[in-house]
Structure 1
Amino acid sequence: MNHPAMNSATPAVPQVPLLDDDTIAFGEEDNANKQFVHPYIVFFHLVFRCSAIIVYILCGWFSDSFIASFVLVILLLSADFWTVKNISGRLLVGLRWWNYVDDNGKSHWVFEARQSRVNRNESRLFWMGLTLCPLVWSTFFIFCLFGLKFKWMLLVLIALTLTGANLYGYIKCKFGAKESLKSATTEFMKQQIFQNAPAFMFSQPTPPNAGNTGVV
């Protein structure tokens, strides 16, 4: 005699879909719970651009030489531009932008976005430093413009150019990569439709083989 419990169907365990955002890649298990994965990169991402602003504000208190202050700020801005463009953007948020010249002498700009997990704290500090510093330099530009300090305005314009270039490049990487992929896919589908539609419309149907029909 069968026990009633043996005849009852075992309830199915509900299958919960695994979200892509919860998937941890192989080798990243130890980094998932860390507050900062690249602490030194975060430090150098912020130290050069913040130092340039501090030196610009306080240079008049320590030196009366405009040339020395100008050169020091330019060196800090150059170090910041190189670090943000080549190191911190790639490691902290998985973005990279660069330029190359082909054999015909034509310049090409490339904006890349890597599909991988990024540390939330590092990403927040990266974008905060990337966006706030150009705003600070824009404020300095307004002060120089209304104060008629044209020699300092030149330095501020250089700072805006360097920091703004990185800001534009990484915004293009983050938001322009998806649009580029979508437009490339759309163009590919259009090309395939226009190429295959005439052949499909004007193709002649293949007559059936009499030997395989079974008709005597």
Structure 2
Amino acid sequence: MENRPEPRAALPEALAADPPLARLVNELCLRHGCHTVVLYGSRALGTATAESDWDMLGIREGGEATRDARLVDGVFLDAFIVPESGVVGAGASFLHLRGGRAVRDPRGLGARLLDDVAAALASPPRPVAEAEIAARRAWCHKMLGRIRRGGDADVEANYRRAWLLFDLLELYFVFRGRHYLGPKESFRFLAAEDGPAYEAFSAALAPGAPTSAVEALVARVLSG
């Protein structure tokens, strides 16, 4: 028999100190049958502002993976709902949970998942085949050539420019055998560890940046 969602009174007493968080945890339990909820992102790391998203992972016994994204009292809730089978031993697939907190965890599954995430981060990412690395490098050159030929009025060239700029951040880390942890953490890393790359991204991403700035960024990314 499928477990029924637990009522508000069954939520951990520790959540009483944070009514907005307690409300969202309760809603994930009631709406989706979650027994475990992990809070991550700036709200878990202690760097949130009043406008910061509520980033959450809800785990339930079964069912399909889904997403609950909506405004709650003017703040965005972004909750991923997954079955237990999708998280067991899958820490490498949930690196975005780094620094998270299992705010409801009656079975200890959230804590185990966070331990798996920490272990995955402590190890290098799975190697990318040399042929795939070569293909991605060739793709960067191909895109850059199309951008050069297109000109400012070529909508396809401008689309490819945006596409290339978006992918280059992750490719920087792929080419160096490092975990890619999203834009916020990645730019923080670059600012601290690779100033020239940070400046190259800043120049290429600036509104109205010349194609030469994109070329310089591609050269920097491919130097890894």
Normalised by the length of structure 1, the TM-score is: 0.27
Flag the structure with higher strand content: 2
